[in-house]
Structure 1
């Protein structure tokens, strides 16, 4: 990846709907070489997919919970069962396996506390867990999907 690729990624992270013509102009390339670079970034997996970012509040998903999970068991089979189960819950937006005092952090987005309670009961009923601690976001101050790219 070179400096031009980094510029392309910066612009696409700001707005993936930018036309190839506009993007090519911004990075000082003609359209065909710019398009070929985008295709290479996609085929190599640098660009995983292009999506529309939706404001959760505007679609009625106003409660974000960060759920810390301590594993009941640290066997490979338990970890796979846990990962498979929580990956299948649509309200779980992100899952991280952690180092430190908790084993997993989940970001869960739901309409309200009743929906969170339903999620929580579903989680603790399905898989044996040592401990679950939830923290609720009061305000989203910064939210971005763009990575810092140094060229």
Structure 2
């Protein structure tokens, strides 16, 4: 990995639809070697997939709710049921296992509080919880899917 690779990754993280020709021009390569680098990133799993990011407000999902979950017990059976639930509920867009006070943190996107309540009801019907705590986001201050490339080791 070199500085050109980092620049290519930065460009693709901002807009994965940029043409290879445009990327090559920006990083000072010809098209074929630039394409080979991008293909290597995909083959090596550096680029996992390319997606379209939707404007949540324009698709009627303006509300973000962060849900902290405490498990009633730490057992493989409970965890499997929990994993199945988070996969089955599309409003749950992120799920993290944590250290500290809460065991899990969920990010849920919904149109409104009533819809969040319906999601909550679906969750508690499927899984037993020790505690669930919800926080509604008031303002999105920063959101990015890009990760910093400054930590990539140059070889």
Task: Tell me if TM exceeds 0.5.
Answer: yes
CA RMSD of aligned residues (A): 1.0
Which ranges of 4 or more aligned residues in structure 1 deviate by more than 4 Å?
A: none
**SS of 2:102's equivalent?**
coil
TM-score by length of 2: 0.94
TM-score by length of 1: 0.96
Q: State the Cα deviation string for residues 54-110 of structure 1 (Å, max 9, x = none).
A: 110111111110000000110122112211211221000100000001000000000
Stretches of structure 2 that go unaligned for 5 or more consecutive residues are: none
Matches of 1:103 and 1:31 in 2, distance apart?
47
Stretches of structure 1 that go unaligned for 5 or more consecutive residues are: none
Displacement after TM superposition at 1:16 (Å): 0.7
1:16 is aligned to 2:16: yes
Displacement after TM superposition at 1:2 (Å): 2.2
Matches of 2:45 and 2:81 in 1, distance apart?
27
Aligned to 2:101: 101
**SS of 1:129's equivalent?**
coil
Matches of 1:2 and 1:80 in 2, distance apart?
41
1:2 is aligned to 2:13: no
Aligned to 1:70: 70
Q: How does 1:114-125 map to 2 (within 5 A)?
A: 114-125=114-125
Aligned to 1:149: 149
Aligned to 1:60: 60
